[in-house]
Structure 1
């Protein structure tokens, strides 16, 4: 008897609601949300209380790929180009050479631990080689801490851009296992086409997307997020049809679009942030449903050994070798090595061998699932402690929320910025009209304690006030200098 659509929608809505509620536990106990999503999926599965039978690797792979497309795009869109530019080179090394070294080391040890052939071991290594920094930063946010420069932008860049390399290696080793006579030269040319073509498609689509959003002038604002969804899917499909890396293309579209100002940018970013969360929940629930917990028990010992090799040998060695040419203190390099959490991408990639008919595919899938769980559980929960031990933690800046928004678009040379008035500033006690403000500088709101004040010429400035200022870069600097000037009695 076929299952009704109403029953399916009921289960989907209930599982998503439970996942959303579980995110509160993630914040409270510093457990990455993805771990909770996976556990919820397993509990809802055939061997759990939910009893849902799901054994369709193709559907799971399809859902996973679609979810990764939007997660990777959102990650690129939310990444600050100004922050990652100084760490672009080390981030590139980590996302390419680091992934390869991790895959190689894990692959070699898999030959001895799992009695795999070298190619099967390298396939397993490639699948678990990419990292998921979203889990890292969710843990840090729950503890209201961040990481010292340049760790945060470096990890963001690495995690956002290392999935394409992992996908390439996975598909290459599957090809070598299923097709005869594929040599190094063929793989090298495929790598150039895969990465180079993906980069070209991503760059071209990013420029076209920014131009199109700026020129289309849609009548309804709600259509702009729909437009970006179609452009993201178009980017991936074009790259894939051209035999290029679609994930790299999508990441570059997000990264380059984030660098530009365009109409409704804030709304589009908020939409894709929410969409990325929905995709993560759906993907993790699906992958949790796909696994049978009883199948994990036979590989638990081997999976634990592989996880240990990955966490304490493969990842640290690859990070230290990739960062060797760059001036960074050892404790920061150690932190980069320790926060290499495994997330959704390895489990999605683990469905590839299942569909390709690789003899060890079931073992690979279950080992990968166990490795991801172990990595998230051990590394994820220990990140706050390790960051304090290594003295690389930093207070997380509290972002103020204002009852007013400003969106910079083409043709407006101004930004909305908040400035704190020092208690010893010469501006304290003066009315706004006495400040002799720069010509193109406007104070639009004052935050004082728990109150917001709409400024007027007679408004008196107090120490500790937060001024919400609309100004260009030059005039903002002049106002900052004026506010930083000390009163005469404090200068004496």
Structure 2
């Protein structure tokens, strides 16, 4: 019992220190994973002297924590974000992981004197991005970028783990048994299809089960988060037992259940958020304790070179080839390539060579640990400056809004929402609250009063309203500060604005001709943009039309196009190299060159 209390005391102190140190991440923008790993290293055998070498327990604990993180990531992903980013994100999560593995393995063979199979094993270990680091830096780091780019990064980080895990386990077995490439046959592909297929199938069925159970047993709101957690882990473990990817299943179950109406959803969200923080802290601390920094010097230089190769060569090439068919600008592709943070998943997968009995398995673990540290130091601290340099920070559509959503007991179809009245907001300028919103209470200077008796609302008033969930966004503009498009935003939104109702033929005549398909001839400019964006336009979306760029400048409350910006200057490339050009851009450049060539060869009229 004394040993138990000592272990519990030390573990509690480490978790507490990690939780408190997270304030540094919010203050200085440091990646949380880096801080948690540093605490684990400082407490380990080369720091405070805590000797911890249980690789098997670390892998099981890390897998459990990763399942919790992935479920919460899926639960908080809106289905709209998944739809607009599914194709490019899933391409990155599959083809991108394979390309990264293959390209990286060539450098590993040269720098680490590995065989090709060992290089592929190390490449598969570091091929996936870290969901926890990406979600934290994008959602909490204050980086306001296009929804399509943000969603692509978030969905990729949540879906590329199963692919990397499958490759790592399979390659570790091949290296450990010495079978080599001779054992790779059709069954290898069949096993992959089985894992991914069962993962998606059981994930969807698990999501349906979670929603059905929660909405049926509505007696106690305090038990709802426990039901969700245990059912999510049931989906994870059952799928793994049946030969599928439990990580993919739990992520899919999170997406499905998170986008359905569920009993006590606000309590579930808050519980999941706290549990995810705890899971990340424990996972990162344990992986930090497992490392032995005194073993790093012998491989430090090649490991750092491999990390730089991954950041500046392997990841960018893999991302460019994966996103080539999609309509991403050079800046957006360059940013996706840069936000490829490696983290806990890579360190967790680096345990597999040790567990599989691979010769010098600790070399894989130590090399991966150094690569992760370099990735977090180089990429983690520079994501926002890189986004600013590439011109991807978009002006906010509305100002700050302080809003709290509360679930109502029973089967009510309304939500209780609390807004704090912001300075210069439309509601202070005299705009009236719509009839479909039912204000009930106002808290002013610590005193509560009925809305009817509160008089005209004042700054910092807290207003409670009953509203249908679908209409909550319409109230945001009333209580948020107005954010007009300033003259300073001309660099982003173009030199002037046009109406989306103007015929697209006018654009074709001015900046074409011949750029419209027969189906687009009778469209308006707004319909043209919406069509080329896949049926839905988002704030700050942009498309190229000949020599100009059309930018979504303003949307109304129903997300219909209200104003289109026109940029007369082509978007500057993210790099002078043609590495980040998509197929449509390549076609435009070929067309432009052919026109210039024909213009030069036309004889002058005398």
Q: 1:134 deviation in Å?
A: 3.0
1:225 matched to which residue of 2?
A: 225
| Corresponding residue for residue 8 of structure 2 | 9
Measured against aligned partners, the alpha-carbon deviations of 1:283-326 in whole angstroms (never above 9, x if no partner) come to 11111111100111111111011101110111111111111111
Residues 165-184 of structure 1 aligned to structure 2 (within 5 Å): 165-179=163-177, 180=179, 181-184=182-185
The equivalent of 1:488 in structure 2 is none
Q: Report the Cα distance in structure 2 between the residues aligned to 1:387 and 1:285, rounded to whole angstroms.
A: 30
Distance 1:227 1:482 in 2: 37
1:408–1:414: 8 Å Cα contact kept in structure 2?
no
Deviations 1:414-453 (A, max 9, x none): 68486989969699558x7xx7x53x43124568899987
- In the other structure, the counterpart of 1:42 is 41
CA shift in 2, pair 1:143/1:449, >3 Å: farther
CA distance in 2, matches of 1:194, 1:221: 35
The answer to which structure has the higher helix fraction is 1
Counterpart in 1 of 2:217? 216
More moved, 416-425 vs 244-253:
416-425
CA 1:207–1:297 in structure 2 vs 1: closer, same or farther (change >3 Å)?
same
CA contact (8 A) 2:403 2:419 kept: no
Change (3 A) 1:399 1:155: farther
Q: Is the 8 A contact 1:350 1:365 kept in 2?
A: yes
- Displacement of 1:408 in angstroms is 9.2
Task: Name the counterpart of 1:278.
Answer: 278
Q: In structure 2, which of residues 431, 447, 451 is the aligned counterpart of residue 455 of structure 1?
A: 451
- Counterpart among 400, 403, 425 of residue 402 in structure 2: 400
1:453/1:374 Cα in 2 relative to 1: closer, same or farther (>3 Å)? farther
Q: How does 1:321-470 map onto structure 2 within 5 Å?
A: 321-394=321-394, 398-402=400-404, 405-406=406-407, 412=413, 416=417, 428=429, 437-438=434-435, 440-445=436-441, 454-456=450-452, 459-460=455-456, 469-470=465-466
Give yes or no for the alignment of 1:85 onto 2:87.
Answer: no
Cα contact 1:423–1:462 (8 A) shared by 2: no
Q: CA deviation at 1:394?
A: 4.0
Shift in CA distance, 388/213, structure 1 to aligned 2, threshold 3 Å = same
> Which SS does the other structure have where 1:443 is aligned?
strand
Alignment partner, residue 238 of structure 2: 238
2:107 to 106, 109, 131: 109
Contact 1:103 1:126 in 2 (8 A): yes
* Structure 1 residue 256 displacement after superposition: 0.7
Q: Which residue of 1 aligns with 2:195?
A: 194
Contact 2:100 2:127 in 1 (8 A): yes
Q: 1:43 to 1:197 in 2, by over 3 A?
A: same
**Alpha-carbon distance between aligned partners in 1 of 2:149 and 2:19, rounded to the nearest angstrom:** 29
Secondary structure in structure 2 of the residue aligned to 1:247 = helix
Unaligned runs of 5+ in 2: 481-606
Task: Give the superposition deviation at 1:146.
Answer: 2.7
Structure 2 equivalent of residue 25 of structure 1:
24
Distance 2:244 2:158 in 1: 17
Tell me the residue number matched to 1:120.
Answer: 118
Bigger radius of gyration, 1 or 2? 2
2:438·2:465 contact (CA, 8 Å) conserved in 1? Answer: yes
- CA distance in 1 between partners of 2:309 and 2:277 (Å): 31
Secondary structure in structure 1 of the residue aligned to 2:402: coil
- Mark the CA change 1:132 to 1:394 in structure 2 (over 3 Å): closer, same or farther: farther
Corresponding residue number in structure 2 for 1:157: 155
The TM-score, its normalising length taken from structure 1, stands at: 0.88
CA distance in 2, matches of 1:221, 1:424: 35
User: In the TM superposition, what whole-angstrom CA distance separates every residue of 1:201-229 from its partner, at most 9, and x where no partner exists?
Assistant: 111111011001111233x3222222122
Q: 1:182 to 1:224 in 2, by over 3 A?
A: same
Q: Could you tell me how far 1:344 is from its partner in structure 2?
A: 0.4
Distance in 1 (alpha carbons) for counterparts of 2:242 and 2:151: 31
> Is the 8 Å Cα contact of residues 423 and 464 (structure 1) preserved in structure 2?
no
Q: How many residues align?
A: 475
TM-score w.r.t. the length of structure 2 is: 0.72
Residue equivalent to 1:59:
57
